[in-house]
Amino acid sequence: MPENPKFFNWSLKNLLSTIPDPLEQSRVKILYTFLILSILKVLIVIPLAYQNNQLPQLKLALILILAYTFLTKLLLSHKRYAVLISHFMILMGLVIVIFVLFGLAKTINIMAMQFIFMMILSGFYLLNRGFGIFYSILAVIPVVVFMIVNGDLQNLHNSTEGLGSPAYEIMVFLNFVTIILGHYLFYQALIRNVKEKELLNEKLLIAVNEANIAAQSKSDFLSTMSHELRTPLNSVIGMAELLSDELTSPEQEENLKILNFSAASLHTLINDILDFNKLGSEKLYLESIGVNLHSLIHNICSGLRIQAKEKGLELVLEIDEELKQIPISTDPTRISQILFNLTGNAIKFTSSGNVKIQVKILDKDADKISVRFSIADTGIGINAEKMDSIFEPFTQASTSTTRNYGGTGLGLAIVKRLLTLFESSVHLESEEGKGSKFWFDISFKRNNQALENDSIGKEQIFDLNGLRVLVVEDNPVNSLLLKKIFQKWSNIPDFARDGYEALVKVSANNYDLILMDIHMPLLDGYETTMKIRELSDKEKSTVPIIALTASVSNNLSDKIREAGMNDYLSKPYNPKELYSKLREIAFKKNLNL
Ligand code: ADP
């Protein structure tokens, strides 16, 4: 099909296809309709003016038809002219109102009113609120002036002066058509806009739901994966601990050191991923336990000091001695995690010099104590440009960091998020090549009933001979590990491979303690415990039960207590932690071990 020559192509389709916004599209449609109807109106006037021999009107009509045709073609050529043409059309309306009031009819007739309406409508619909108000006032001014000049409206009457009556009627009719079409098109755009928004909202809702499901499955996947990783890691750490007593050569000692280091790194990595996962979904809460900050920090430092020593670094601890006398309530695990991460980094990124941990009281009253922690090193330092980004997850100061030092870039992101739970934030001062200093302040609640537990971690050879223990564990490797650990303590526990076997053994024997795995087929640790608690024999039903679990669920301790268990140990655990729990129970039972 040959294309229409450009002048005869009056279709709005091409222009509309260049306008994505439906509201803008409607504005152009309204303007186009106004122009076409204006041409139509003038076309009606021409023969009538000619017939009545009204030359000035004829001339004006010819000029107008040329002007409207030009404007229509201009509009069709590019959307950018729409606003300009809209202003022109409204001003034309104003000219017509003035012309009708003061020249043609000398009265406020229906046509003048129609043009005033069209001006107001065009101001709001074709332009915007500001121009809508402006042109509304402008449209009313000639009427007010006319009323002032003419004194009153008594002499209002319809006049068809200057034009033949049929032309006037057709004009009035077409003006009504213009007003109605203007409203109709704008209403249509409004409805379409609302419907499109509703559709978008629906799509958004679906997308948000899908994102939530994806985030949940990511979180579930990480929890399950880390659970699965923790179980074998428990055996690795436990077996390595057992091996430490059987070393016969320096080479074996060296090999075991590497094994221990790798297991510890893996453990940290799993914990980091998990913590990050929990922090991301805001599932992490702080515990509030009575703590002596002084001994907590000393314990943390004794572990880190070995790490520093291995690199030939000195780890200096400067702590306010007054803290010894001020027990507080806090989450010791999270405090340790923050200090481990920051000091671990300080040691990692320093090759000579020292790492200094300072803990100072800033302020105190009867209820609270505010403490400043700072960790300074003499290491590689951090480029000023990277000082913000290193706190973002999976970000390191340089691309060579992983190659040279390892790491995932999660540590500082976790520190930052953990500190928000303490209503604090981490600060950093650093100079490349000279060292870095990280510091933060925490306000702790004072707790005068705080208990200290210093027994963990002390190197001793244990003897738990005589303690009757049942281990309920379905994983044979873990059972073997526990058997060996207990052997070291001169104890031979009973083993049950599932909940049912455990119930049979508990019915047949009296135990001082049960170590209960949680995830077991058929009858899990919770159900088995509940059944034991229901037994009629008081001695059996009140036996202390400690859960051994690789689960990382947040309300784990609640669930464990609800099921009737007394305590729990998270896998991977150090055998020394297990010992300290056993000793506690043994003391309670007055076994005098
Ligand atoms: P990771 O240590 O696993 O890489 P972090 O989030 O703990 O992750 O640290 C992010 C980055 O910040 C590190 O890779 C390192 O580039 C930089 N960084 C952190 N602590 C120090 C420090 N004490 N000295 C120099 N650079 C550091």
What Å distances lie between residue 281 and 93, 220, 394, 459, CA to CA? 61, 11, 17, 39
Both 515 and 430 in a single domain? Answer: no
Is residue 466 within 8 Å of 492, Cβ to Cβ? Answer: no
Backbone angles phi, psi at 362, to 5 degrees: -95, -35
Mean pLDDT for the chain overall: 83
* H/E segment holding residue 268: helix 250-280
pLDDT of residue 491: 86
Q: Which of 172, 203, 234 is the last residue of a domain?
A: 203
Ligand 1 near 380 CB (within 6 A): yes
Percent of the chain exceeding pLDDT 70 equals: 89
Tell me which residue has its CA closest to atom 22 in ligand 1: 346
Q: Is residue 459 part of a domain?
A: no
pLDDT tens string 350-365: 999 999 999 999 999 8
Tally the domains of the chain: 3
Pick the range with the lowest mean pLDDT from 18-22, 151-155, 318-322.
151-155
Both 438 and 476 in a single domain? Answer: no
Both 474 and 433 in a single domain? Answer: no
What Å distances lie between residue 124 and 27, 109, 130, 177, 438, CA to CA? 10, 23, 8, 18, 59
pLDDT tens string 245-303: 778 888 888 888 778 777 877 887 787 777 777 666 556 678 787 888 998 898 788 77
Beta strand spans in 308-456 (E)? 314-319, 328-330, 354-364, 368-377, 427-431, 435-446
Both 91 and 146 in a single domain? Answer: yes
What Å distances lie between residue 560 and 105, 278, 379, 478, 527, CA to CA? 94, 20, 44, 20, 11
pLDDT of residue 505: 94
Q: Across residues 20-25, what is the average pLDDT?
A: 84
pLDDT tens string 525-557: 999 999 999 999 988 999 999 998 877 666 677
Q: How confident is the model at residue 232 (pLDDT cuts 50, 70, 90)?
A: confident
Tell me which residue has its CA closest to atom 23 in ligand 1: 346
Q: Is residue 246 part of a domain?
A: no
**Residues facing residue 289 across a β-bridge:** 330
The two structure tokens encoding residue 27: 């504005």
Is residue 28 within 8 Å of 20, Cβ to Cβ? Answer: no
Both 30 and 162 in a single domain? Answer: yes
Nearest to 485 by CA among 589, 593, 573: 573
Q: 315 CA distance to ligand 1 centroid (A)?
A: 18
pLDDT of residue 458: 41
Q: Is residue 19 part of a domain?
A: yes
Tell me which residue has its CA closest to atom 8 in ligand 1: 409
Q: Is residue 456 part of a domain?
A: no
Both 36 and 64 in a single domain? Answer: yes
pLDDT of residue 281: 59
Report the nearest atom of ligand 1 relative to the CA of 407. 3
pLDDT tens string 428-485: 999 999 999 999 999 999 986 644 444 333 444 556 777 899 999 988 888 888 888 8
Q: Which of 203, 218, 242 is the last residue of a domain?
A: 203
Backbone angles phi, psi at 248, to 5 degrees: -120, -10
Other residues' Cβ atoms within 10 Å of the Cβ of residue 137: 11
Q: Verify cis geometry, omega within 30 degrees of 0, for the bond prior to 572.
A: yes
Backbone angles phi, psi at 107, to 5 degrees: -155, 165
Cα separation, 437 vs 376, whole angstroms: 4
Report the nearest atom of ligand 1 relative to the CA of 375. 23
Both 45 and 180 in a single domain? Answer: yes
Both 474 and 561 in a single domain? Answer: yes
Report the nearest atom of ligand 1 relative to the CA of 395. 10
Ligand 1 near 382 CB (within 6 A): yes
Cα separation, 194 vs 197, whole angstroms: 5
Q: What is the DSSP letter of 3?
A: P
Q: Is residue 489 part of a domain?
A: yes
Cα separation, 545 vs 547, whole angstroms: 6
Q: Which of 394, 419, 451 is the last residue of a domain?
A: 451
Cα separation, 304 vs 110, whole angstroms: 93
Beta strand spans in 270-319 (E)? 289-291, 314-319
Report the nearest atom of ligand 1 relative to the CA of 412. 6
Both 447 and 473 in a single domain? Answer: no
What Å distances lie between residue 471 and 183, 479, 524, CA to CA? 82, 8, 14
Report the residue among 338, 345, 440 best suited for mutation to probe ligand 1: largest number of ligand atoms under 8 A from its CB: 345
Backbone angles phi, psi at 4, to 5 degrees: -60, 140
Q: Is residue 250 part of a domain?
A: no
Q: 162 CA distance to ligand 1 centroid (A)?
A: 89
Tell me which residue has its CA closest to atom 17 in ligand 1: 397
Report the nearest atom of ligand 1 relative to the CA of 410. 6
Q: 418 CA distance to ligand 1 centroid (A)?
A: 16
Is residue 290 within 8 Å of 451, Cβ to Cβ? Answer: yes
Residue 156 pLDDT > 60: no
Q: Is residue 231 part of a domain?
A: no
Q: Tell me, yes or no, if the pTM score tops 0.95.
A: no
Ligand 1 near 408 CB (within 6 A): yes
Is residue 237 within 8 Å of 572, Cβ to Cβ? Answer: yes
Q: Across residues 66-89, what is the average pLDDT?
A: 92
Long-range own/partner contacts, residues 134-138 (CB < 8 A, 24 or more apart): 135/90, 135/94, 138/94
Q: 397 CA distance to ligand 1 centroid (A)?
A: 7
Both 17 and 159 in a single domain? Answer: yes
Return the sign of the alpha-carbon dihedral for residues 234, 237, 242, 243. positive
Is residue 469 within 8 Å of 494, Cβ to Cβ? Answer: yes
Residue with token string 């960091």? 401
Q: 390 CA distance to ligand 1 centroid (A)?
A: 7
Ligand 1 near 377 CB (within 6 A): yes
Report the nearest atom of ligand 1 relative to the CA of 350. 24
Q: 347 CA distance to ligand 1 centroid (A)?
A: 10
Both 316 and 407 in a single domain? Answer: yes
Ligand 1 near 390 CB (within 6 A): yes
Task: Please count the residues of the chain.
Answer: 593
Which amino acid belongs to residue 70? F
Is residue 327 within 8 Å of 355, Cβ to Cβ? Answer: no
Q: 277 CA distance to ligand 1 centroid (A)?
A: 19
What is the maximum alpha-carbon separation in the chain? Answer: 130
Is residue 496 within 8 Å of 508, Cβ to Cβ? Answer: no
Ligand 1 near 401 CB (within 6 A): yes
Q: How do strand 427-431 and strand 354-364 relate by DSSP bridges?
A: unpaired
Domain that holds residue 515: 469-588
Cα separation, 247 vs 365, whole angstroms: 52
Nearest to 308 by CA among 357, 371, 264, 381: 357
pLDDT of residue 158: 47
pLDDT of residue 280: 64
Both 521 and 435 in a single domain? Answer: no
Is residue 35 within 8 Å of 71, Cβ to Cβ? Answer: yes
More confident residue, 133 or 107: 133
Report the residue among 279, 341, 349 best suited for mutation to probe ligand 1: largest number of ligand atoms under 8 A from its CB: 349
Cα separation, 248 vs 118, whole angstroms: 102
Tell me which residue has its CA closest to atom 11 in ligand 1: 396
**Residues facing residue 291 across a β-bridge:** 328
Q: Across residues 499-517, what is the average pLDDT?
A: 93
Tell me which residue has its CA closest to atom 25 in ligand 1: 381
Ligand 1 near 219 CB (within 6 A): no
Q: How confident is the model at residue 581 (pLDDT cuts 50, 70, 90)?
A: confident
Q: Is residue 136 part of a domain?
A: yes
CATH number for the domain harbouring residue 568: 3.40.50.2300
Percent of the chain exceeding pLDDT 90 equals: 34
Ligand 1 near 411 CB (within 6 A): yes
Cα separation, 208 vs 509, whole angstroms: 56
Tell me which residue has its CA closest to atom 7 in ligand 1: 411
pLDDT of residue 151: 64
Ligand 1 near 397 CB (within 6 A): yes
